[in-house]
Structure 1
Amino acid sequence: MTSVTLRPGGPLLSGAVYGCLLNVQEELDRLGDAINQAPYHGAPSGPVLYVKTANTQIAAGQPVPIPSDVEQVRVGAALGVVIKDTLTRAGVEQARSAIAGYTLVNDVTVPHDSLFRQPLKQKCRDGFCPIGPGLVDAADLPDPATLTVRAFVNGECRHQWCLDQLVRPVATLLADISDFTSLYPGDLIIVGVSPDAPLAGAGDTVAVEIDGLGRLENRLVSEGEDAR
């Protein structure tokens, strides 16, 4: 298997990091009839994106600081897709060809209910996006829909889900995003997070695993704690 080690201790990617809400079927199912009410008025016709700002990005093994006003966070075990070619209004096959590779992401999030606005306060705290430890070439994982995503807390698997549950499969998601915003080399897309993402708090060690991609592990620490 060909892999490229992501650069530790600094910026992990050269581009933007986007996450996608409501791209796991269970998320939509749990909204029930509420999806037809304001402000949704039906299932989304396109991807619902949010950003993981540069301050969130850390490497495998680095501590995730938990702010003093936060008791627990959700361990958002997810697949990350790294782009190698510019995509603008692309078709599905063009989008598939533009995938450089895949990596592990922990989309750490403060629990919240509202989807009415960008969840920046809940998703963009310092260190809330561990990425890595490596980038696996797309040719070595031709069908990500067959992969299972697992979330661990203190060595125990607390939740797993399969990527065949995505509302928009990986290449379709990239193509649909490119309809309204261009994607560039070095950008990373978090394809979705299960609504059953487990909770963890300061002092816990959390990990993400996907078969063929390895293990991304980080310790949660109280903000300001020297974890070394």
Structure 2
Amino acid sequence: MKLLTFRQGERLALGIKTDRGILPVPDREGMDAGHTVKQLIEKGEAGLDELNRLLDEAAGKGVEYLNEAELDLGPCVPGPGKIVCVGLNYRKHAEESNMDIPKHPILFNKYNNSLAGHGDRIALPADSDQVDYEAELAIVIGRTAKNVSKENALDYVFGYCAANDLSARDLQFRSQQWLLGKSLDGFCPLGPYLVTADEVGNPNDLNIRCMVNGEMRQQSNTSDMIFHCDDIVSYISRYMTLAPGDVILTGTPEGVVLGYPEAERVWLKDGDEVTVEIEGLGRLRNVMVAEET
């Protein structure tokens, strides 16, 4: 099942992607999609059963479906409790960065201010001229996970989505902590869809790529990960409890601007369109714009 969130005025609504268009999920008790998505994930199979019943009922009622192209999409996972990211997790990316292959996952975080949706315009910070793209597979946790084994780790996953771990490299490397360059407003687009795990299949074998203005910059497969999705969920759960709705960005493949020889680096600029595409998860597209000062 493919789910998305879309903006209705000041609120977010939840929708299901179908062959007929987007079926809106009715609000319950006045709650918006930020609550609805979290509740849905917490319900697990029971929540998905409710949505399947909604689809069956809609099929016989002549329900009006929405045109996806006309919707203003929000991040497909609004308000996660945690956004945990993994650095240097593709072998070829580590090699292009002249970094040793990590012995353990390198973890950092983003905050909710960095969330953005498909189609959002992302402001480039005025005091940075080294903004980079990073196409990434994101894991969305489905149930509380603490000290889970690698063998059982994927049982705790609700679904997956495409992400762009945008990074202002000059701000990122001002200090040994990467936070500043990673958590700028809008620097974590998620979407367009949250795709349930049963529909994705094996997350460790998905084609992933990134285009800038239609030019291919990254093209790889999640099989090149150093630490695969099950490794990552299991490892993080040893040290912090993962809750339903938490998001894990699993790292980016080779081809980022930082990996080019210095004389060939062309950083993102005003007007650039960045598209992240992952097999089965859709295309996440955003346009970079100069920050208003």
Shared fold, TM over 0.5 = yes
Change (3 A) 1:201 1:219: same
Task: Report % sequence identity.
Answer: 32
1:6 alignment counterpart: 5
Report SS of the residue matched to 1:179.
helix
Residues 153-204 of structure 1 show CA distances to partners (whole Å, capped at 9, x for unaligned) of 1122222111111111101111011111111100000011124224421211
1:16 aligns with 2:82: yes
* Higher mean C-alpha displacement, 197-206 vs 119-128: 197-206
- Whether 1:134 aligns to 2:200 is no
> Given the alignment, which residue of 206, 210, 217 partners 2:285?
217
Q: 2:176 pairs with 98, 112, 117, which one?
A: 117
Quote the offset at 1:27 in angstroms: 3.9
Aligned counterpart in structure 1 of residue 248 of structure 2, from 189, 201, 204: 189
Give the TM-score normalised by structure 2: 0.68
> Counterpart of 1:93 in 2: which secondary structure?
coil
Give the distance between the partners of 2:173 and 2:127, measured in 1 at CA: 19
The amino acid that maps onto 1:122 is G
Q: 2:225 aligns with which of 140, 147, 166?
A: 166
Gaps of 5+ in 1: 36-42
Q: Is the 8 A contact 1:208 1:216 kept in 2?
A: yes
More helix by share: 2
- Which amino acid in the other structure matches residue 94 of structure 1? N
Distance of 2:211 and 2:96 partners within structure 1: 23
Shift of 1:130: 0.7
Alignment check: 8 A CA contact 2:74 2:116 kept: yes
- Which residue is 1:201 aligned to? 269
- Cα distance change on mapping 1:68 and 1:31 into 2, 3 Å: closer
Where do 1:139-158 residues align within 5 Å?
139-158=198-217
* Superposition CA RMSD, Å: 2.2
Larger Rg: 2
How far apart, CA to CA, are the structure 2 residues paired with 1:175 and 1:90? 5
Structure 2: unaligned runs, 5 residues or longer? 7-72, 258-266
Partners of 1:6 and 1:132 within 8 A in 2? no
SS in 1 for 2:238: coil
Alignment of 1:60 onto 2:126: no
